[in-house]
Copies of this chain bind each other. A is one copy, B any other.
Amino acid sequence: MTASVTIGEFSRLTHLSVKTLHHYHEIGLLAPARIDPSSGYRRYETAQVPVAQLIRRLRDLQMPLAQVRAVVEAPDVQTRDQTLRLHLDQMERELAQTRDVVASLRSMLTLPVGELTVEYRFMPAFRAYAVTDRVDRDSIDDWCSETFGLLGEIAGRYGINATAGATYGDEFFTDDVGEVVGFLPVAPDQPALERVSLVDLPASYFAITRHDGPYADFDRTYGALGSHVAEYCEVAPGPIRELYLTGPGDGAAASDFRTEICWPIQRLPTPKG
């Protein structure tokens, strides 16, 4: 039913390099069926080929070895397939995202840098329903769709007609993980709810510009606005705000999204610097 082969033969059967097999043995992911006690030679069984191939495929998909291990060591087929399916879904989302970045980079090649229109605005303090979390940058899309799904639902139920927004702490950008607050402005006498908290956002001056288009292009607008602020304003501490004038919740296409990006500043800049 099954034959014993040397590491070189096994390498040919699985298309994994000898070095890789050594590595997988060392970390205990794929140990040879037995080891010759005198020579130390590894002997693999042909029955191990399918496992090795599964590992190879998962690695081809950039799955980290830790996750690969979770898959191949899954106690039963159901668990294994479930884990796998999750990763595949994940992969497909990332693929779509990469496609977006590629597309936006392409458009960046053909389209010139647009003019930047910056508006200075004082935003008074206001109360809002809010969802606060420490969010990882990789999962911000999921988090947003969940959060603004919830806030949108609440807005509909209570007849709140306000523009939702979010604040992003500095660490979110610099450390790729930080505090994010999704908010929906409400009247000061709005009652508390279970699923969202009630917060007061502080007043501040802001340098504001509108970003038109998909979120994949945000970095350019951020950079342009940030450069502008660095040149003409005094930066104030506190998180950056985004106001989602038109977003996915409005059933618009990504190219029709409208977002205001609000950079906190100390005061209105003096005309001419």
* A interface with B by C-beta (< 8 Å): 1-3, 5, 8-9, 11-15, 17-18, 46-47, 49-50, 52-53, 56-58, 60-61, 81, 84-85, 88, 91-92, 95, 98-99, 101-102, 104-106, 108-109, 113, 170, 173-176, 219-220, 222-224, 226-227, 230-231, 235
A56 smallest CB distance to B (angstroms): 7
Copies held by the complex? 2
CA distance A233 to B81 in the complex (A): 34
Question: In the complex, what residue of chain B is closest to A5 when comparing beta carbons?
Answer: B230
B230 touches A15 (CB 8 A): no
| 8 Å CB contact of A99 from B52, B95, B170, B174 | B95
A36 smallest CB distance to B (angstroms): 17
Write 7 A-B pairs (CB below 8 A) sorted by A numbering: A1-B231, A3-B230, A9-B235, A13-B223, A49-B226, A57-B105, A81-B109
Question: In the complex, what residue of chain B is closest to A49 when comparing beta carbons?
Answer: B223
A214 smallest CB distance to B (angstroms): 14
A89 smallest CB distance to B (angstroms): 9
CA distance A223 to B17 in the complex (A): 14
CA distance A81 to B113 in the complex (A): 15
B13 touches A230 (CB 8 A): yes
A268 smallest CB distance to B (angstroms): 18
